[in-house]
Amino acid sequence: MVQQRKVVYKYNIESNYDYVSVNILENYNDLIEAVENGSKKKWMIFVDSIVYGKQLEKTLKDKLECDSIIFITTDYKKDVDGIREVDEISRESMFSKRILITTAVLDNGVNIKDLELQNIVVCADTEEQFIQMLGRKRKDGINTNLYIFKRDKVHFQRRLAMVEKVRKIAINYMKTFEKWLNGDEKYYISKEGWLIQEQHCQIMKKMAENELDYKDVMKVFWVYGGILMLNLLAYHHLEILCSYYQRIIECFSTYGDNAFLQEQLKWLGKNQKETDEVINGCMKSRLDEARENVIDAMEQNKEKEMTKEERHLWYDFLRSYPVRFSRQKVLGKYIADFYCAEAKLVIELDGSQHYEDRNIKKDADRTAFLEGYGLRVIRIPNNDVGRNFCGVCEYIDAAVKQSLSQLR
């Protein structure tokens, strides 16, 4: 018997991304601010979550007070505007809205040749996704603003945990099939030798209970003739993802918080010197902006004195609270009344003016901004501090303990 030798061919596609100007986003708040205050040309924003895509669409429509925004997913055929927009992209290689939000549904097989499209936001974990998303716009000689996210180590640890759980379910499937081959009759088997769909779906749901979205599990299985079968190609992809996520997590030990930024810039063909220049330049801009925000916030609040309720809460409870609180804490472009860094908790005391129509939206924007940084915001009416001080203290104490338990 002649043993065949396995040959692997690797192709390198040379690409020039000199037309791209890189901008770094710390979180989704940065993205909202970039769209709100940045280029007025068209935007294509790739997101990795349908839930966030819908939220982003709503937030931008409210902030920009315009309807020239659309979110396209795999369900676009259920929406008239979605059908119209996808049809225009297919026929004309351009879209009519100023801001197009989409998922990976548009990351392949779509060519955008729209001179008004000058801003692309890529939210991708792998090089394949990254290049596909960026490549939706064809080169047209016009500089493109590319926005990339600074992912942290925790993000990839969560991704790895999810992939490993799905992989475990696939392995259990194979073990179950192997047991049937060995004569174990307690498993439901079709005549063709595969686990019957209905019965095995129940087994898999039990495996995934309280651990995974069942739809994620089904990404590695397919149905043929009413029979559930393992997609070996998808399973192999899971193994590749596991190795990849492990490597990226290890990179954080070498490059620190900027590990994934380093990775993305390599995908753009940047050498180490160019990578350092991009990261340092973006970080300097962010520091300058943060410094200006602090100065503006301090200017706005320099005449502000603590109210009677703030003094009462501070001197009679928060100042001596076991978990440290700060008062008048600068957070981005705002100053919080009270802030607990350990519990990531912000406390705002609201006077009567906060319930006026013109201030309700401002408070909502302020809360959304702070929550975008992973902070929990609780608002307490001034009247409650005066009328039910003990109750307010108990409420804050419970909020701190709840936040700490969720973070640990």
Task: Kindly report the number of other CB atoms within 10 A of residue 259's CB atom.
Answer: 20
User: Which pLDDT score, from 0 to 100, does residue 314 have?
Assistant: 93
φ/ψ of 22, rounded to 5, equals -85, 135
User: Which pLDDT score, from 0 to 100, does residue 172 have?
Assistant: 73
- Poorest-confidence range of 47-56, 136-145, 305-314? 136-145
User: Which pLDDT score, from 0 to 100, does residue 200 have?
Assistant: 57
Q: pLDDT tens digits for 223-240?
A: 665 556 677 888 888 899
DSSP-based helix, strand, coil % in the chain, nearest 5: 55, 15, 30
Catalogue all structural domains in the chain, each as residue range(s) with its CATH number: 20-149 (3.40.50.300), 154-246 (no CATH), 308-407 (3.40.960.10)
User: Which pLDDT score, from 0 to 100, does residue 395 have?
Assistant: 94
Shortest CA distance to 140 belongs to which of 118, 108, 110? 118
DSSP symbol at 350: E
User: Which pLDDT score, from 0 to 100, does residue 183 have?
Assistant: 53
Q: pLDDT tens digits for 105-132?
A: 775 667 888 888 999 999 999 998 898 8
Please state, rounded to an integer, the average pLDDT across all residues of the chain: 79
User: Which pLDDT score, from 0 to 100, does residue 230 have?
Assistant: 74
- Mean pLDDT along residues 241-256: 92
User: Which pLDDT score, from 0 to 100, does residue 389 have?
Assistant: 93
pLDDT over 70 at 337, yes or no: yes
pLDDT over 80 at 310, yes or no: yes
User: Which pLDDT score, from 0 to 100, does residue 119 have?
Assistant: 93
23, 145 in Cβ contact below 8 A? yes
- Poorest-confidence range of 109-123, 134-148, 230-244, 350-364? 350-364
- Mean pLDDT along residues 372-380: 89
Q: 353 versus 56: which is more confidently predicted?
A: 56
pLDDT over 80 at 384, yes or no: yes
pLDDT over 60 at 303, yes or no: no
pLDDT over 50 at 342, yes or no: yes
Cβ within 8 Å of residue 29, ≥6 positions away: 332, 369, 372, 373
DSSP symbol at 1: -
Pair type for strands 99-102 and 42-46: parallel
- Mean pLDDT along residues 272-289: 72
pLDDT over 60 at 203, yes or no: no
Q: 360 versus 148: which is more confidently predicted?
A: 148
pTM over 0.85: no
Q: Which tokens belong to 202?
A: 């129940």
pLDDT over 70 at 36, yes or no: yes
261, 286 in Cβ contact below 8 A? no
Q: 105 versus 314: which is more confidently predicted?
A: 314
